[in-house]
Every structure is written in C-alpha cells, then in structure tokens.
Amino acid sequence: MAGRSVPTHAANNSPRACPTCQGTGGHTITTRSNGKTAQSWQRCDDCKGTGTQGGGI
C-alpha cells in the first residue's frame, strides 16, 4: 500500500454554522415591564449554544 493516498472527507466532517442561529449560538430577547427594558440571552436549542453543527467522526 506504499505510495497510495487515502481519500479524506474533511469537508463532510467539518463543523458548519448552525442553520437555526446562523452561527451566533442564540439570540437576545428584549422584555419590557413597568416602563423598564431588559435583555437576556436565549441559547439556541439545536446547537446547544455552540453556533456549530456537524463534524466529528
């Protein structure tokens, strides 16, 4: 087998941006109560907040 190369499929195994959150890992939520505004971070459930999907073996 010397001299033969083994094909790799790195493109298929590479993580890619999560299609649900576009790679951000989540989004902000703005709430208003009694004239006050607050923002909080909502994690993306599909990628668990990582911003990526796919990859691995």
pLDDT band at 2, cuts 50/70/90? low
> Would the pLDDT of 18 be above 80?
yes
**pLDDT computed for residue 56 by the predictor:** 58
pTM over 0.95: no
**Rounded-to-integer distance, Cα 56 and Cα 12, Å:** 9
Beta partners for residue 43, in sequence order: 26
Domain map of the chain by residue range? 20-44
What confidence tens digit (pLDDT) does each residue in 19-50 have?
999 999 999 999 999 999 999 999 999 999 99
Residue type present at position 42: Q
